[in-house]
């Protein structure tokens, strides 16, 4: 069965699926662009590797517990063996362990000059959630904005605050930012929600080259089919992150219509 949603499938945002979806989608974008851009351009999958402290563990507090003395009475029989005094029971805590993050992204490179013409990013949770990962991504983003490199940012994750843009008060679940170096600070922002198809967009290149159209919806649907997600996704499970009440009602009706019975989890603040 193909992707039952007309646009982004919210079940793919689950932490169990998204790392794989992220990897496969980047590969599909590359596969679709290479035939359109060779021999003038090379489309390369690059990877950044860095370590962050587990932000979640840093937020975990020690639960309230009662510290009790060992209730076992001391042995009254005289002995030459030294007996250790009773100690308090240990408390289980979570340590802020370092986490190695590996993120893939795409670069369109001019084969003659070897210069990076366009950077394509598909956002991961580490890019969006508060913490070191987002800070490092923001720094890279700012460097690209200050360069002559075009920039495409694809955000298919509803969780966390979106990356900043100015003069945009439109609420949307998903977004695609297309920033041409010669038009900054202006950029094109494609906004869409759960019930919308993912919009196609032109990939910025150097003038006067023809810009290929990236059909992200078709690419995501191909990822869904190739990975066999119709067999692995449980559409009766709760969504992570949860949907708003309106979206949950719409999603349930859609899944019922397609024979996939499920109730989407509703956000508590909706």
Question: Domains of the chain: which residue ranges?
Answer: 10-52+97-233, 235-270
How far from 266 is each of 34, 159, 197, 252, 263, CA to CA, in Å?
Answer: 41, 14, 22, 11, 9
Residue 84: the pLDDT is 63
Task: Return all residues near 125 (Cβ < 8 A) that are at least 6 apart.
Answer: 15, 18, 157, 159, 160
At 120-138, the pLDDT tens digits run 999 999 999 998 889 999 9
Task: Determine the Cα–Cα distance for residues 59 and 79; give it in Å rounded to an integer.
Answer: 48
Task: Return all residues near 25 (Cβ < 8 A) that are at least 6 apart.
Answer: 122, 219, 220, 223
Residue 101: the pLDDT is 67
From first to last of its 270 residues, what are the pLDDT tens digits of the chain?
899 999 999 999 999 999 999 999 999 999 999 999 999 999 999 987 766 665 543 332 223 333 333 444 445 445 566 666 667 888 887 776 666 667 899 999 999 999 999 999 999 999 999 988 899 999 999 999 999 999 999 999 999 999 999 876 778 999 999 999 999 999 999 999 999 999 999 999 999 999 999 999 999 999 999 999 999 999 999 999 999 999 999 999 999 999 997 545 555 444
pTM for the model stands at: 0.81
At 35-84, the pLDDT tens digits run 999 999 999 999 877 666 655 433 322 233 333 334 444 454 455 666 66
Residue 270: the pLDDT is 43
Residue 259: the pLDDT is 93
> Is CATH 3.90.1570 the right assignment for the domain spanning 10-52+97-233?
yes
Residue 89: the pLDDT is 85
């Amino acid at each position: 069965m193909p992707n039952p949603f007309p646009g982004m499938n919210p079940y793919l945002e689950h932490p169990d699926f998204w790392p794989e979806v992220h990897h496969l989608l980047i590969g599909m974008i590359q596969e679709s662009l290479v035939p359109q851009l060779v021999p003038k351009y090379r489309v390369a999958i690059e990877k950044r590797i860095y370590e962050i402290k587990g932000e979640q563990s840093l937020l975990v507090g020690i639960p309230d517990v009662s510290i009790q003395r060992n209730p076992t009475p001391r042995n009254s029989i005289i002995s030459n063996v030294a007996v250790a005094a009773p100690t308090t029971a240990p408390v289980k805590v979570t340590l802020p362990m370092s986490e190695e993050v590996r993120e893939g992204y795409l670069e369109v490179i001019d084969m003659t000059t070897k210069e990076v013409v366009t950077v394509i990013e598909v956002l991961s949770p580490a890019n969006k959630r508060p913490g070191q990962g987002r800070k490092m991504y923001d720094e890279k983003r700012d460097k690209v904005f200050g360069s002559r490199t075009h920039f495409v940012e694809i955000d298919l994750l509803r969780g966390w605050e979106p990356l900043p843009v100015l003069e945009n008060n439109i609420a949307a679940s998903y977004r695609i930012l297309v920033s041409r170096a010669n038009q900054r600070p202006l950029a094109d922002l494609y906004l869409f929600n759960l019930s919308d198809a993912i919009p196609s967009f032109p990939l910025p290149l150097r003038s006067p080259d023809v810009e290929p159209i990236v059909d992200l919806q078709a690419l995501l649907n191909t990822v869904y089919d190739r990975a066999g997600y119709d067999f692995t996704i449980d559409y009766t499970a709760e969504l992570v992150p949860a949907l708003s009440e309106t979206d949950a009602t719409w999603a349930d009706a859609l899944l019922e219509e397609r024979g996939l019975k499920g109730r989407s989890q509703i956000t508590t603040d909706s």
